[in-house]
Structure 1
Amino acid sequence: MLRWKWTPVLAGAFSVLVVSYALRYGYGVVAPPMALDLALTNEQVGSIVTSYFVAYAVFTPLAGFLADKFGFKRTVALFTAVMGVGSALMSTSTSFEQCIAFFFIVGVGAAAAWAPMATLARRLIPSRKRGLALGVIDSGSSVGYMISSFLAPPLIASFGWRSHWTVWSLASLAVAASSLLVLPSLRVRVLPSLQAPKSISFWLIALSYMMFGVTLWVPLAFLSKFGLSEVGLDYWAASLLGVAVAAASIPGKLLLSHLSDVAGRSCVLLFSLALIGLSQLLCALAPSPALLFLYAAMFGLGYGGCVPLYGVLASDFSERAGTVLGLWTVFFSIGSMASPKAAGFLADLTGGFKVPFLFGFSAALTSMLLLALASRALSGKTLRLK
Structure 2
Amino acid sequence: MKPGLFKAVAAPSWQLALATMVAVQMATAFLSRIPPTIAPILAEARGWSDSVVGYLASLNTLGSILFLALGAPYLRALGSVRALQVGLMIGILGLALFLPNWTVTACIAALLIGVGYGPSSPAGNDVLHRTAPQGRRSMIFSIKQAGVPLGGVIAGLALPPLEAAYGWRIALLASAVFVLAIIASVQPMREALDQDRERGLKFGLGVILSVSNLVTPIRALTASSTLFRLTAAGACLAIGQGIWFAYLMTYAVSQLGYSLETAGALYALMQATSVVGRVFLGWLSDRLEAPRLLLRLIGLASGVTSLSLALATPEWPFPIYCIIAAVAGITVSSWNGVQLSEIARACPPALVREASSAATLVIFLGYVVAPSAFAMTLSLTSRFDLGFLACALSGVVCLILVPEE
| TM norm structure 1 | 0.89
CA contact (8 A) 1:196 1:318 kept: no
Q: How does 1:133-282 map to 2 (within 5 A)?
A: 133-183=140-190, 184-185=193-194, 187=196, 196-263=221-288, 264-282=290-308
1:309-345 per-position Cα deviation (integer Å, ceiling 9, x unaligned)? 1220122023122211100111112111111111122
CA contact (8 A) 2:63 2:115 kept: yes
Partner residue in 2 for 1:74:
82
Cα separation, partners in 2 of 1:113 and 1:167, compared to 1, 3 Å: farther
**1:186 CA displacement:** 5.1
CA contact (8 A) 1:120 1:186 kept: no
311-320 or 325-334: bigger deviation: 311-320
**1:168 CA displacement:** 2.0
Partner residue in 1 for 2:210:
none
CA contact (8 A) 2:300 2:399 kept: yes
**1:61 CA displacement:** 4.2
One of 126, 129, 136 as aligned partner of 1:129? 136
Instruction: Name the amino acid aligned to 1:307.
Output: N
1:116-160 per-position Cα deviation (integer Å, ceiling 9, x unaligned)? 111112100123111111122122112111111111221010122
**1:196 CA displacement:** 4.9
Instruction: Name the amino acid aligned to 1:294.
Output: I
CA contact (8 A) 2:77 2:197 kept: yes
Partner residue in 2 for 1:383:
none
Cα separation, partners in 2 of 1:27 and 1:102, compared to 1, 3 Å: closer
In structure 2, distance between residues paired with 1:281 and 1:71: 42
Partner residue in 2 for 1:112:
119
Partner residue in 1 for 2:382:
351
One of 84, 88, 92 as aligned partner of 2:92? 84
Cα separation, partners in 2 of 1:303 and 1:118, compared to 1, 3 Å: farther
In structure 2, distance between residues paired with 1:128 and 1:139: 19
CA contact (8 A) 1:68 1:323 kept: no
1:95 aligned to 2:125?
Answer: no
**1:280 CA displacement:** 1.3
CA contact (8 A) 1:279 1:299 kept: yes
Secondary structure, aligned partner of 2:120: coil
1:26-68 per-position Cα deviation (integer Å, ceiling 9, x unaligned)? 4322111111111112332211111111111110244455435
CA contact (8 A) 1:63 1:75 kept: no
Partner residue in 1 for 2:322:
293
In structure 1, distance between residues paired with 2:360 and 2:278: 18
Partner residue in 2 for 1:318:
348
Q: CA RMSD in A?
A: 2.3
**1:165 CA displacement:** 2.5
Q: Between the two proteins, what is the percent identity of the paired residues? A: 19
Cα separation, partners in 2 of 1:112 and 1:56, compared to 1, 3 Å: same
Instruction: Name the amino acid aligned to 1:339.
Output: A
Secondary structure, aligned partner of 2:222: helix
Secondary structure, aligned partner of 1:52: helix
In structure 2, distance between residues paired with 1:340 and 1:304: 15
Q: Which has the higher helix share?
A: 1
Partner residue in 2 for 1:5:
13
Instruction: Name the amino acid aligned to 1:215.
Output: G
| TM norm structure 2 | 0.85
1:60 aligned to 2:85?
Answer: no
In structure 1, distance between residues paired with 2:283 and 2:45: 44
One of 307, 321, 331 as aligned partner of 2:362? 331
Partner residue in 2 for 1:384:
none
Secondary structure, aligned partner of 2:136: helix
In structure 2, distance between residues paired with 1:166 and 1:131: 36
Cα separation, partners in 2 of 1:60 and 1:186, compared to 1, 3 Å: farther
Secondary structure, aligned partner of 2:48: coil
Instruction: Name the amino acid aligned to 2:360.
Output: T
CA contact (8 A) 2:13 2:131 kept: no
In structure 1, distance between residues paired with 2:102 and 2:129: 43
Cα separation, partners in 2 of 1:324 and 1:70, compared to 1, 3 Å: same
In structure 1, distance between residues paired with 2:392 and 2:378: 15
In structure 1, distance between residues paired with 2:226 and 2:251: 36
In structure 1, distance between residues paired with 2:26 and 2:353: 20
| Deviation beyond 3 Å, 4+ runs, structure 1 | 61-70, 192-196
